[in-house]
């Protein structure tokens, strides 16, 4: 009987220790989660604060609509290559793009008409959700970014993205290669740490950068999904 009592007390003590351990572990994980959310949000915000993107959305995924999207892209980039204000700050580039929305729309409408289409064209400037996107020389994490958005027709087709500030996609409108001057401007805006985060991600052995980037990606994708759920509910 005494042995049974001792066994019962031992189990109770172990159960209490297990509960305490579990409680501590949960608190620790919650702290880590909060740190990741804060880090992910702050890092993406700093990146997005130094970037303005171009987003062209095709009417549909048909071959004709996708080809038309690329023709609109070429015309818009050709104009930007010639007219984009050299050496502009992010604020100056943003104001320039906002002021030129009617012209961007006019250029897109001209291409649409030249190709025998009567699709409606809209050009807007705002903050839009973007998935993680890889460009030549860098990868931008998912999140909300300011962008010029050109919508063709019902705008339900595959998208085309590039970066308008720094002028990475207008520095060379023919090859769309990343311009060294624009990349240096991006580095100055982001700082070395965040610049390495989006440019060193492709290196196979750079595990710390991959982990940090993945944290930002998961946090921002989660925010976008939650916002979409809320929008659908209301």
pLDDT-derived band at 8, boundaries 50, 70, 90: very low
**Residue 171: its pLDDT value, please?**
55
What average pLDDT does the chain have? 84
The three-class DSSP label of residue 115 is coil
* C-alpha distances out from residue 32 to 26, 107, 206, 217, Å: 10, 49, 22, 16
pLDDT at 175 over 70: no
Token representation of residue 60: 């549909």
Domain ranges of the chain: 46-233
* C-alpha distances out from residue 13 to 1, 19, 26, Å: 19, 10, 20
Burial 113-145 (b: 16+ CB within 10 A, else e): eeeebebebebebeeebbebbebeebbbbbbbb
Would the pTM count as exceeding 0.95? no
- The answer to whether 152 and 65 are in contact (CB under 8 A) is yes
End-to-end, the C-alpha distance of the chain in Å comes to 64
* Mean pLDDT for the stretch of residues 205-234: 84
User: In angstroms, rounded to a whole number, what is the distance separating the alpha carbons of residues 195 and 189?
Assistant: 9
**Residue 21: its pLDDT value, please?**
66
**Torsion region of 144: left, alpha or beta (phi above 0 gives left; psi -120 to 50 gives alpha):** beta
What residues does 147 pair with on adjacent strands? 53, 126
- The answer to whether 55 and 159 are in contact (CB under 8 A) is yes
pLDDT tens track for 56-74: 999 999 999 999 999 999 9
* C-alpha distances out from residue 31 to 26, 35, 218, 226, Å: 9, 6, 17, 21
């Amino acid at each position: 009987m005494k042995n049974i009592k001792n066994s019962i007390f031992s189990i109770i003590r172990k159960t209490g220790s297990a509960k305490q351990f579990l409680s501590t572990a949960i608190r620790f994980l919650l702290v880590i989660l909060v740190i990741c959310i804060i880090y992910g949000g702050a890092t993406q915000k700093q990146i997005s604060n130094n970037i303005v993107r171009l987003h062209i959305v095709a009417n549909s995924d048909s071959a004709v609509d996708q080809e038309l999207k690329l023709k609109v892209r070429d015309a818009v980039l050709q104009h930007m290559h010639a007219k984009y204000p050299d050496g502009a700050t992010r604020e100056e580039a943003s104001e320039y793009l906002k002021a030129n929305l009617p012209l961007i729309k006019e250029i897109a409408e001209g291409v649409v008409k030249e190709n025998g289409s009567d699709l409606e064209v809209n050009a807007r400037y705002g903050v839009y959700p973007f998935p993680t996107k890889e460009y030549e020389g860098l990868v931008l994490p998912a999140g909300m970014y300011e962008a010029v958005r050109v919508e063709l027709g019902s705008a339900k087709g595959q998208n085309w993205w590039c970066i308008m500030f720094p002028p990475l996609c207008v520095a060379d409108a023919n090859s769309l290669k990343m311009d060294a001057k624009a990349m240096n401007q991006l580095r100055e805006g982001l700082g070395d740490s965040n610049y390495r985060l989006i440019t060193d991600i492709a290196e196979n052995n750079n595990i710390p950068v991959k982990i940090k980037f993945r944290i930002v990606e998961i946090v921002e994708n989660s925010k976008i999904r939650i916002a979409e759920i809320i929008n659908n509910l209301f």
